[in-house]
């Protein structure tokens, strides 16, 4: 299905060259969260899904290792243990009501996918097989547990294919290679409510206005603010940036996860499932160094801990290679059969990109920017919040772009594929519930006007700055000063660089002035979102003077529950393009929801 169905074309109106569409529910993003929402909403409402990519190219397909659920198919397990691991893994910044929902509904989420046809690996008895994963334990931290349901090391790919096939079965209407660039908000009875989104059609350069009663954002992450990242080129935070520019706050943006095992120098991901199967991290001398840092679960400690330990080994002179700037992931003892059957993709990646055969030699690895714990604030119904607890009627978000907050300051491996299915399903359910009784919010005059103006200003710009050069400098500076370890000084330098790049962004030019398939133009638009989001990440990080989860401050190395057991809330108070972050970003705090687990020291 490469274009909308004929019924969508029949109901389209064209006014002054702009195409107008109407749906009960519009979903922005066709990755796992977006398509899971569509499957839930599709039987009960008219649903349109807008995606900048063909759906099966979405980044969910890059997730490898598995999806956690306390099925207890292989050994004893419970959703309470899963909840505890999620809270503890998130360094206690997790909203525990959300974590309970995630762990409880995980079991049905896996069974839903099985019933949709997902080919999970099986035990000899025919049950869904499960393997170990970082931070997942039994008896509240006493020993590792087999909780991750998986399809070799292609779990995300299989989820994406399965969801897409079921969307096609339901007749969901897709608009592929349409870039959503604005959310139209209309004031009704003194309250701003979403009325439509505006999208740019890549193939023609035409603008489309999608009016809807409910709008779901499921646009993924923004890892391309970094140079060394597992994220695809398309993960530029468009959805998060659009809502930020509309005055909707962002939550916990300082917490970015660095996955321990990216291919050294490249960032291409090697799944944690390798360590779940028994792979070992070693330094230059061959020592299994995680035994020193996390004696109970060793290489299966949460990702933030493992990533910091790896960087520390290198900083203290125990790194491997000519420049002593990486460590090794040793899979050699697993044997060819395990690697070729349970971990075929990572085996091929190592051979293709580094010329290393994991069957007979260790693989050079270092942390890579992987996942945004922060994003668009939502409640447990996936409703977007305009402040700590005020719901924006008809607006929803799910997946990596959202912050519910179920991951706190560090997401456990496998909980992302779980998040998109549990909260994607909830977004679909509650968006339909709202749409059944809601009316269409009236559109303003010329709703596509701001997008048209932005596009034309970039297309006709005659500056001297190259978009690619500005993006490269941003990514390199974020790698240098805002990665695994941070200080006020390093973050201050990044802030200064972003201020300079903002000035440069006002003086860009693009080569392609045409309308059809103008990726040059869209990369310029994406750079604007990257600059906005990088600035919020750094500004929030400077304000949190402690170390917690994915946010490690060398100048404040201890966790400080007395002052910082709260979520960061960032608000846009002026023009996002103004010179200094202090001119347009205001920071506030939001309480963490604590139910059963009081904060304690993280020991593994």
Burial 227-248 (b: 16+ CB within 10 A, else e): bbbbbbebbbbbbbbbbbbbeb
Give start-end residues of each CATH 3.90.700.10 domain in the chain. Answer: 261-367
Which of these CATH numbers, 3.20.19.10, 1.10.3720.10, 3.40.50.300, 3.50.50.60, describes 14-62+157-162+175-256+371-436? 3.50.50.60
Query: Residue 246: helix, strand or coil by DSSP?
Result: coil
pLDDT digits (tens, 9 = 90+) for 294-342: 999 999 999 999 999 999 999 999 999 999 999 999 999 999 999 999 9
Contact 150, 121 (CB under 8 A): yes
Q: Are 241 and 352 in contact (CB under 8 A)?
A: no
Q: What is the mean pLDDT of residues 417-444?
A: 97
**Could you tell me the two tokens for 94?**
């997790």
- The whole-number pLDDT of residue 579 equals 65
Q: Tell me if 287 is assigned to a ligand binding site.
A: no
Q: Does the annotation place 431 within a ligand binding site?
A: no
Between 275 and 580, the higher pLDDT residue:
275
Residue ranges, CATH 3.50.50.60, the chain: 14-62+157-162+175-256+371-436
Largest CA distance in the chain: 69
Compute the mean pLDDT over every residue in the chain, rounded to the nearest whole number.
Answer: 94
Q: Is 595 annotated as a binding residue?
A: no
Instruction: Return the SS3 of 582.
Output: helix
Is 30 assigned to a binding site? yes
Q: Which of 138, 303, 459, 486 is catalytic?
A: 303
| CA distances, 285 to each of 186, 332, 554 (Å) | 63, 16, 26
Return the pLDDT at 388: 82
Reported as a single tens digit per residue, the pLDDT across 383-402 is: 999 988 899 999 999 999 99
Q: Given pLDDT bands bounded at 50, 70 and 90, which one contains residue 2?
A: very low
The secondary structure of residue 285, as a DSSP letter, is T
Consult the annotation and say whether 144 binds a ligand. Answer: no
502, 477, 466: which is closest to 583 by C-alpha? 502
Question: Tell me: the pLDDT tens digits for 560-599?
Answer: 999 999 999 999 997 766 667 667 999 999 999 999 999 9
Question: What CATH class does 261-367 carry?
Answer: alpha beta
303 flagged as catalytic: yes
CATH number for region 448-565: 1.20.58.100
CATH 1.20.58.100 residue ranges of the chain are 448-565
Of 103-112, 251-260, 350-359, 576-585, the least confident: 576-585
**Is 58 annotated as belonging to a binding site?**
yes
63 is in an annotated binding site: yes
């Amino acid at each position: 299905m490469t274009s909308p169905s004929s019924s969508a074309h029949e109901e389209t109106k064209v006014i002054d060259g702009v195409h107008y569409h109407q749906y009960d529910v519009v979903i922005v993003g066709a990755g796992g969260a977006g398509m899971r929402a569509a499957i839930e909403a599709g039987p009960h409402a008219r649903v349109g899904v807008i995606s900048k990519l063909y759906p099966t190219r979405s980044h969910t397909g890059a997730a490898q290792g598995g999806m956690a659920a306390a099925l207890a198919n292989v050994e004893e397990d419970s959703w309470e243990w899963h909840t505890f691991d999620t809270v503890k893994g998130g360094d206690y910044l997790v909203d525990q009501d959300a974590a309970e929902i995630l762990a409880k509904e995980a079991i049905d989420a896996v069974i839903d996918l099985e019933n949709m046809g997902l080919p999970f690996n099986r035990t000899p008895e025919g049950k869904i097989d499960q393997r170990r994963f970082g931070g997942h334990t039994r008896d509240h931290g006493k020993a590792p547990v087999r909780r991750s349901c998986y399809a070799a090391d292609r779990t995300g790919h299989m989820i994406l294919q399965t969801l897409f096939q079921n969307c096609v079965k339901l007749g969901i209407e897709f608009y592929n290679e349409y870039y959503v660039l604005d959310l139209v908000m209309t004031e009704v009875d003194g309250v701003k409510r979403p009325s439509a989104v505006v999208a740019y059609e890549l193939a023609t350069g035409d603008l489309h206005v999608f009016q809807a009663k409910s709008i779901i954002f499921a646009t993924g992450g923004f890892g391309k603010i970094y140079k060394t990242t597992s994220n695809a080129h398309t993960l530029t935070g468009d959805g998060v940036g659009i809502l930020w520019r509309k005055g909707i706050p962002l939550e916990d943006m300082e917490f970015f996860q660095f996955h321990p095992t990216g291919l050294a120098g490249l960032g291409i991901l090697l799944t944690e499932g390798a360590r779940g199967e028994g792979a070992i991290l070693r330094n230059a001398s061959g020592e299994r160094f995680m035994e020193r840092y996390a004696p109970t679960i060793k290489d299966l400690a949460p990702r933030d801990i493992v990533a910091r330990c790896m960087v520390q080994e290198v900083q203290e002179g125990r790194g491997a290679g000519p420049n002593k700037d990486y460590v090794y992931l040793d899979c050699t003892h697993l044997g060819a059969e395990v690697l070729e059957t349970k971990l075929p993709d990572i085996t091929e990646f190592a051979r293709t990109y580094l010329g290393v055969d994991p069957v007979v030699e260790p693989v050079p690895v270092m942390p890579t920017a992987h996942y945004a714990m922060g994003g668009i604030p939502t409640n447990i119904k996936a409703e977007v919040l305009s402040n700590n607890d005020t719901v924006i009627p008809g607006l929803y978000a799910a997946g990596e772009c959202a912050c519910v907050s179920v991951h706190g300051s560090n997401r456990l491996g496998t909980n992302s594929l779980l998040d998109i299915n549990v909260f994607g399903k909830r977004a679909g359910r509650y968006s339909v519930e709202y749409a059944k009784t809601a009316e269409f919010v009236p559109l303003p005059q010329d709703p596509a006007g701001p997008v048209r103006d932005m596009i034309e200003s970039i297309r006709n710009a005659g500056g001297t700055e190259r978009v690619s050069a500005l993006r490269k400098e941003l990514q390199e500076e974020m790698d240098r000063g805002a990665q695994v370890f941070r200080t006020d000084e390093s973050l201050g330098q990044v802030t200064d660089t972003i201020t300079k790049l903002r000035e440069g962004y006002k003086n860009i030019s693009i080569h392609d002035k045409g309308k059809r398939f103008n990726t040059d133009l869209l990369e310029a638009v994406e750079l604007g979102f990257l600059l906005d989001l990088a600035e919020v990440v750094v500004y929030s990080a400077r304000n949190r003077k402690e170390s917690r989860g994915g946010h490690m401050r060398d100048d404040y190395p201890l966790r400080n529950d007395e002052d910082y057991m709260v979520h960061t809330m960032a608000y846009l108070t002026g023009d996002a393009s103004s010179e200094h972050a202090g001119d347009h970003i205001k920071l506030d705090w939001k309480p963490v929801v604590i139910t059963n687990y009081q904060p304690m020291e993280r020991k593994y």
